[in-house]
Amino acid sequence: MDLRQLRYFLAVADELHFGRAAERLGMSQPPLSVQVSRLEDELGTPLFERTTRRVSLTPAGQHLQTRAHSILDEVDAVREEMRDYADGLSGRLSAGFVSSANYTVLPGVVQLFRACRSNITLELHPLTSGQQLEALRAGTLDVGIVRDEIPANSGSTFELTSEVVFEELLVACLPVDHPLAQRSEVTAGELIDVPMITYPRSLMPGYVDRVAAVFDMAPGAVRGVEVVVHQETALGFVAAGVGTSILPESVRHLLPPSIVAIPLAGSPTTRLIAVHAARPERKVAAVFIECLHDAARDLAGR
């Protein structure tokens, strides 16, 4: 028994007339009669009582009519669900983000995305840029919000595409009692001899390279005294007087009174970049990225 046979049976069961059922199905009557007979043979019971004047359902036919309507309604519902999934209206979206996105675009994008795609389960994963790119290449992440990282496609299961969604200034975080703390801005040259809290390039290659470019040095040439993963940890070392750390301006939301954030001369910036795999069946990723742009525009308008 297949779905086509059920549809043929239902047409006859609803019309109680083979000719009208065949017309409704857009076919001739003889093939319809053959299909219904085959279904009866397969089920081992007659579904219709046929006379020269009328067609009626047997008790077995009445039962199958109810069940067939239920089955085909469920099939139609599944088909609609899958169409919604393909169109990005339902399903799941797995998104990674660097922790600093918490203080810029992430709250806005979550609110906007859930408002326009309420039937999609949004899964958020706090990961470093390097971890996100690895997950994107493996196909276990749909979208990543990385910092200063333009991904290469070598080793990717899917081609990765990227676009800038938010840009902000870099600042030097210093203890409030540091000699440079009262300056309106500081130069890279003034910071070069200050001990630096840095980040592992293996996990944050784009950001580490960006900071190195500010100092016009190769990555690792800055005089680092501690290597940390999270900016909150870096701020803890700054507050303890260990040194300085170069961070996005949005870090001001985290600063205790013991730390100041000083703009860098030349106004160098850092960028949040949306990365996703070019998978045509995952249209929902494009919706999420559009919400990211909207969230960034909202921030810029404040």
Residues 280 and 150 in one domain: yes
Q: What is the structure's pLDDT at 84? A: 59
Same domain, 10 and 126: no
Does the pLDDT at position 238 exceed 60?
yes
With contact defined as beta carbons under 8 Å apart, do 48 and 35 qualify? no
Count of structural domains within the chain:
3
* pTM higher than 0.75: no
Place of tokens 């960028």: 271
Q: Please classify residue 135 by burial: count the beta carbons closer than 10 Å to its beta carbon, then call 0-12 exposed, 13-18 middle and 19+ buried.
A: middle
pLDDT beyond 60 at 220: no
- Residues shown for the chain: 302
Last residue of a domain, one of 86, 102, 122: 86
**Which of the listed residues 86, 101, 127 is the one where a domain comes to its end?**
86
Mean pLDDT of the chain: 89
Domain span holding position 279: 91-166+271-300
Look at residue 46 and tell me whether its pLDDT is greater than 80: yes
Tell me which of 62, 86, 110 is where a domain ends.
Answer: 86
> According to the model, what pLDDT value does residue 269 have?
96
CA distances from 259 to 103, 167, 195, 253, 275 (A): 18, 23, 15, 11, 33
Q: How confident is the model at residue 88 (pLDDT cuts 50, 70, 90)?
A: low
Per-residue confidence (pLDDT) for residue 159, from 0 to 100: 83
Res 16 pLDDT > 70: yes
pLDDT in tens, 150-162: 877 655 567 889 9
Q: How confident is the model at residue 280 (pLDDT cuts 50, 70, 90)?
A: low
Looking at the structure, do residues 178 and 266 belong to the same domain, yes or no? Answer: yes
- Of the two residues 216 and 174, the one the predictor is more confident about is 174
What's the pLDDT score for residue 51? 86
DSSP 88: T
Cβ partners under 8 Å of residue 13, min gap 6: 47, 48, 57, 61, 64, 65, 68
Claim to verify: residue 60 and residue 198 sit in the same structural domain? no
What pLDDT shows up at residue 118? Answer: 86
Same structural domain for residues 19 and 161? Answer: no
List pLDDT tens digits, range 240-252.
999 999 999 999 9
Are 157 and 187 within one domain? no
State whether 171 and 205 are in the same domain: yes
pLDDT on residue 181: 94
pLDDT for position 81 = 67
| pLDDT 10s digits, 76-87 | 877 776 765 666
pLDDT digits (tens, 9 = 90+) for 94-110: 999 999 999 999 999 99
Q: Identify the band that residue 111 occupies on the pLDDT scale cut at 50, 70 and 90.
A: very high
